[in-house]
Structure 1
C-alpha cells in the first residue's frame, strides 16, 4: 500500500467519523448514515490495498 493511498483512506475514515458525530449531535439521520458509509468505504479500500500488498510479497 502506498503511503499516499494509506493517508487518503485514513482521511476519508476520519471525515466519515466526523460526519457521523455531527449527525449524532444534531440528530440528522442522513449525516449519520453518510458518515457510516464513508467509514465503510475507507475500510474496504484499506483491506483491498492490504490484499494487493500480500500478493506483491
Structure 2
C-alpha cells in the first residue's frame, strides 16, 4: 500500500500542475471593449464641455 501512495503523490501533482498550466495560459475573453467604450464616452463628454465653455 505504501508503494501505491508513493506512486499516487507524483501522479496527482503532475495532474494538478497540468490543470494549473492550462488555467494560467487560458485565453482571456474580456478584451478592451469596456475600456474603449468608456474612453469614447469620456471623449464625447470632454468635447461637449469644451463646446459649451467656448460659447460662454
Into which bin does the TM-score normalised by the smaller protein fall?
Answer: 0.3 to 0.5
Q: Which has the higher Rg, Structure 1 or Structure 2?
A: 2
Structure with the largest fraction of helix: 1
What is the TM-score normalised by the length of structure 1? 0.46
> Larger RCO: Structure 1 or Structure 2 (Cα < 8 Å, ≥ 6 residues apart)?
1
TM-score with structure 2 length normalisation?
A: 0.47
